[in-house]
Amino acid sequence: MSPWPPIEPARQRAEAVRHRAAELGFDACGITTSVPPGSGDAFRRALAEGRHGEMSWLARNADRRTRPDLVLPGVRSVVLVAASYGDGRRDSEEVPSPGPGRSTGLVARYARHADYHEILAPGLTALAGFIEAMGPEGSRAVWYTDTGPVLERDLGQRAGLGFVGKHTGLISRHWGNWFLIGEVLTTVDLAPDRPERNHCGRCTRCLDACPTGALPAPFTLDARRCISYLTIELKGSIPEEYRPLVGNRIFGCDDCLAACPWNRFAREGARMRSAARPDLGQPDLVEWLGLDEPSFRARFRGTPLFRTKRRGVLRNVCVALGNVGTVADLPALQAASGDAEPLVAEHAEWAIGQIRRRESGSGSGTTGV
């Protein structure tokens, strides 16, 4: 039997949900209705133009992403929660300087933690159960964190969690850009929060910061040019025209996020703090290039990098070495050029050519970070 009287008003239920979310370690919580997100037409247009690249699941689930009632029949409310992965550092500290005799890489901030899916899952499971229990018999609640057919950033703005910035990410006035989102869809009626309005103003710092021009216009992302897509979602070869622009980034890119002035309010969050992996912050590229399959699994199991597999991570390491490596890194790259994985071997050959051209003084096709 539900511990909540059937006459309990939606506003009180919503307040109880926010309180429970805070108890579970989430840094913010907002609630919205199940009305279809307003960005549906823009989402379909992006698919029609092919801006999603090889992320075919976006097109397969297009109808469900724009219709919450197709995800959960009878849905009444959507609860959005945030978990900050900010670490309190200034954005100018984002790109590490190589140590003496070392070529180092850069991993996106969120990935310098254990896999956020696993970190957020227990809290979201508990929150969904709490919501179901407060509703009438037969109430349902399902949760996702970047795993379901939900346009979560649009819903997040409607729930007051933040506003969609010109880089298409969600920005919080209290947490900046450094936070992850989870959502619970439920048949329980909860009073919605006030939507957040956009606070970008005339600022275009995020657009100007993108190394590859993946943000051709405000609120428009072409994933095919995005370094996060190229180093994580793309499974094959990184197009040669983009390789020099990747710099020493080996998993994701934070440039557009780091450029946002709202980060001055960013704080370290409660739930992600214990999941930090400092060893992923400034990796030695040559060391990572030498990882075989067992050592790769041992090093990265339980982290976001694991999903890209050894072939993807080492592909990215080769590109980074091609951009920032020296002659001291050539032996490791020459060994990698004979790797049994063709994707790794191909990018190692490219990196060798880049370093040799750079060392010969031509500088053709290379760049720093």
Q: Which amino acid is at 112?
A: R
Reading the block at residue 348, the tokens are 């190692």
The lowest-confidence range among 59-68, 119-128, 343-352 is 59-68
Q: What pLDDT score was predicted for residue 321?
A: 98
Reading the block at residue 79, the tokens are 């609860």
Asked whether the beta carbons of 252 and 108 are under 8 A apart, the reply is yes
Higher pLDDT, 210 or 101: 210
pLDDT band per the 50, 70, 90 thresholds, residue 95? very low
Within 8 A by CB and 6+ apart from 83, the residues are 25, 26, 27, 116, 119, 120, 179, 180, 182, 269, 271, 272
Instruction: Identify any residues that bridge with 181 across adjacent strands, giving them in sequence order.
Output: 82
The fraction of the chain above a pLDDT of 90, given in percent, is 84
Q: Could you write out the DSSP letters of every residue in 40-75? A: HHHHHHHHHTTTTTT-HHHHHTHHHHT-HHHHSTT-
Asked whether the beta carbons of 255 and 263 are under 8 A apart, the reply is no
Tell me the C-alpha distance between 105 and 97, whole Å: 9
Asked whether the beta carbons of 246 and 319 are under 8 A apart, the reply is yes
Within 8 A by CB and 6+ apart from 20, the residues are 126, 127, 130
Instruction: Identify any residues that bridge with 163 across adjacent strands, giving them in sequence order.
Output: 171
**Cα dist from 352 to 114, 144, 242, 311, 365, whole Å:** 32, 42, 17, 18, 12
Judged by DSSP in three states, 248 sits in coil
Average pLDDT over residues 317-325: 97
**Tokens 């071997």 — which residue?**
345
Tell me the C-alpha distance between 27 and 175, whole Å: 9
Q: Where are the domains of the chain?
A: 10-96+112-186, 205-255+279-359
Q: Could you write out the DSSP letters of every residue in 122-174? A: HHHHHHHHHHHHHSSTT--EEEESSSSS--HHHHHHHTTS-EE-TTSSEEBTT
183-220: pLDDT as tens digits:
999 999 999 999 999 999 999 999 999 999 999 999 99
29-60: pLDDT as tens digits:
999 999 999 999 999 999 999 999 999 999 99
Known catalytic residues? 146
Higher pLDDT, 91 or 73: 73
**Cα dist from 270 to 1, 24, 84, 128, 278, whole Å:** 33, 10, 7, 20, 17
**Tokens 């002659």 — which residue?**
327
Quick one: DSSP state of residue 307?
G
